[in-house]
Amino acid sequence: MRDSAGIPGGTGAGTGVPAPVRGHRRRLLRWIALGLALLVLAGSAAGWWLYRKLEGNIREDTSAAAELGRYERERPAHLTDGAQNILIIGSDTRSGKDNARYGRDKGSQRSDTAILLHLPADRKSVTAVSIPRDLVTEIPGCLTADGSRTEEQRAQFNWAYQWGGAACTIRTVEKLSGIRIDHHMVLDFGGFKKMVDAVGGVEVCLKQPMDDAEARLRLPAGRQMLHGEQALGFVRARYSVGDGSDTERMRRQQQFLAALVKKVQSNGVLLNPGRLYPLLDAATSSVTTDPGLASLRGLYELVRGVRDIPTDQVRFLTVPRRPYAADPNRDELVEPDATRLFLRLRTDRPLTVTPPAPTASQPPAGPLSTDGPRTRYPWLTATDVPPSPVPTFTGTTADTPDCR
């Protein structure tokens, strides 16, 4: 007997394959297709679960947004489309199990670190400006945690965070600099350690040994791989290291951040899912942000804009300062240098940095100006500041050798 194709055995359609075998293959293919579909669905579900978990980690600071909205009319104008100014605040709070080991929680907190991060519109560079916590400046009247309001007064900069949290600190920076703060992030001790551990530690080079009991840190000279606890001690150490000044502490913070930038930009982190996910998990669970950044999309857009910036264009500097005339244990701005720096950032103009000279000394103390850039130059627009010559400030870049 022959089938329609004239081939013995009834295989059909000239395939040469018996019908039972064809049926088995069809069933097998259906099962494979079903399995692949289930894998895709499972992958999608897992991806969605991970996305929701990471996004759910982020804490949104709605109270600061509401307070800033109350004072919108007195805040500086945003002069350059595409440029962003982000205030990064390191809190010294002792609340929570990760922070309690550093002291008793007295229900108060100050900004242990404040860094103004300027991202230009072209995203070809980034500038991080440290603001001394001991800087004497004008702090506006702020809403406190108990619902009362403080009076405007001259005080040490980091008191702003204790009195009125992120909103008070942002308004203080805006009053000081005339720069509109677009976003903010708050990071505490525990969150900092999680992020360092998530990238597998950060390498720094010490020119001399460090031994600071208060920061719980003891390190020999030379290259060191610092993990969470040691890294936190490194950026917090002050009184028993060097001259004990906050200026030296800020330089160490900038050194550490430069090393962290290089580590995160390396293939060992960004292209390694085993390290990338822990980093994302640590980062999202460690920060409190304004509503504009309180999402994976918001944070992704921020990171995407800076991830490819060359390390020699990642700049770190401290706002020009010197010992305060009335109290050498406090700081005041050096003018006109501070105003020149703030104006470059405010109008999104380029600047360069050069490492400090080993024997550089502070300029003599003089009278403290009470008139900030915003009140002195309310009429300035981006076109009012000439593009050249490009000024140079004392600072470093992320590719500056840390052992010279």
**What is the tens place of the pLDDT at every residue in 25-40?**
676 677 666 666 655 5
In this predicted model, which residue has the larger pLDDT, 263 or 93?
263
Instruction: Decide if pLDDT at 382 tops 60.
Output: no
* Residue at 293: amino acid letter: L
Amino acid present at 209? P
Q: How confident is the model at residue 123 (pLDDT cuts 50, 70, 90)?
A: very high
What confidence tier does 240 reach under pLDDT thresholds 50, 70, 90? Answer: low
Q: Which homologous superfamily does the CATH classification assign to the domain defined by 58-357+366-397?
A: LCP protein (3.40.630.190)
pLDDT digits (tens, 9 = 90+) for 269-286: 666 666 777 777 888 888
Across 150-200, where does the E strand assignment appear? 153-156, 183-187
Lowest mean per-residue pLDDT among 66-80, 239-253, 295-309: 239-253
Q: Judge whether residue 381 has pLDDT over 70.
A: no
Phi, psi of 95 (to 5 degrees): -75, 150
Domain ranges within the chain, ordered by starting residue = 1-57, 58-357+366-397
What is the side-by-side order of every strand in the sheet holding 392-397? 59-60, 287-289, 183-187, 84-91, 111-119, 126-130, 314-318, 392-397, 352-354
* pLDDT tens-digit map of 60-114: 999 999 999 999 999 999 888 899 999 999 876 444 445 444 444 444 466 678 9
Is the pLDDT assigned to residue 24 strictly greater than 50? yes
Structure confidence at residue 171 as a pLDDT band (50, 70, 90): very high
pTM above 0.75, yes or no: yes
Cα separation values, 397 from 148, 203, 236, Å = 43, 16, 21
Q: Summarize pLDDT for 319-335 with one digit per residue, the tens.
A: 999 999 999 889 999 99
164-178, 217-231, 300-314: which is most confident: 164-178
pLDDT of res. 378: 46
**pLDDT score at 129:** 96
pLDDT reported for residue 114? 93
Q: Are 237 and 249 in contact (CB under 8 A)?
A: yes
Q: What was the pLDDT predicted at 16?
A: 63
Residue 130 burial (CB < 10 Å; 0-12/13-18/19+)? buried
